[in-house]
Each structure stands twice: as structure tokens, then as C-alpha cells.
Amino acid sequence: MKTTEKVFDGLVVLEYQSGNKKSLSILVKRHHARLCRHSYRYTYDFEASKDIVQDSWKVIISKLYTLKDPNSFSSWATKIVTRKSLDHLSRLKRTKKNIESIHKGSIINDVTDDKEAEIRKLLLAIKELPENQQMVLKLFYLEEYSLKEISSILNVSIGTTKSRLFHAREKLKGILKTKKR
């Protein structure tokens, strides 16, 4: 996420913390769709991701006054959505539902063009990676979070984040090379 966006979010958070309730709608408009996409990457279920983000907003709003670094709102909110998404998956596992059925309806099935076929191959290759490496790739390249922010979101060290990103890239190269043959 760009520095200017972080600063803008920080200013909006400070406005909210100082009593301007209208500033909350700005945060929701700026982040709701992104948070839904982030949750979807865990659940592969649009309806569940919307519910998770809705529940996350309740937590975000109730704890927004305690946020010490307003510029970190985006990564802080993403961390809350990540936790809620993981809790959701844990509940599914505890009830012994088939997790594979969640992956139905993935955007990969909708890809048809030549250029999109290449994207499909890349997405399929990414799906072959371990979940922790997939998440680091998505946060780094799609959401444009820094390594430090990713380590905070996933609650792992920066070294672990760097290692996962490195190994994900290397495995991805290997997977794509074997698919070309």
C-alpha cells in the first residue's frame, strides 16, 4: 500500500478518534471491497467472506479508538479479517465439512482468452504452493503490502515472511518450467 494512502487513512482514523463519526464511512468505502477479496482468498466463498468482513467491521469499529498508529489502519484491519477468516475455516474443519467444496466457483474457471490462459496457468501453479506461501505472494503482489506489514498481518517474523516469499517464487518458477515441457 502506498505511503500517501496510509497517511490519508491515518488522517481519517484520527478524525474518527476525535469524534467525527462520518469519517468511518470513508474508511468503509475505501477498504470494504479489498477486505472482502482478502477474506475470499482464504474461504473461496463469496457469501462467507462478506459475512466475515461484516463481523470484522464490528471489531474494527469497537477497537478503532485504541489504534495507536493510525497510518497502519489498512494492515491492522487486514489482520483482523485474516484472523476472522482463519477462525471461520477452523469452524468448518471442526464440523468436518469438506473444505474442497469451498474452492468451487473460483475465478480460474471463468478464464478463456489466450492472455487469460496464461493467467490461468499462473493461478493454477500458485494453487500448487503451500497455503502460507500463496498468502504471502497475494499480499505482496496483489495487495502491495510491505514485508513488515505482511509479517504483522500473518503474525510471523519478517525473516519468515522473506523466506516464504523467496521459496514461493522459486517453487513457482519450477512449477511453471515443468508445465512448459
- 149-180 pLDDT per residue, tens: 888 888 899 999 999 999 989 998 888 888 77
Q: Report the distance separating Cα 78 and Cα 153, nearest Å.
A: 7
Domain parsing of the chain, residue ranges? 1-105, 106-181
Q: What is the pLDDT of residue 102?
A: 38
Contact 102, 43 (CB under 8 A): yes
The fold of the 1-105 domain, in CATH, is Rna Polymerase Sigma Factor; Chain: A (1.10.1740)
The fold of the 106-181 domain, in CATH, is Arc Repressor Mutant, subunit A (1.10.10)
Half-sphere exposure in the Cβ direction for 137 (13 Å, CA): 20
User: Is this model's pTM higher than 0.75 or not?
Assistant: no
Give 10-residue mean pLDDT values along the chain (181 residues): 87 93 94 94 90 95 93 94 89 56 44 65 84 87 85 90 91 83 60
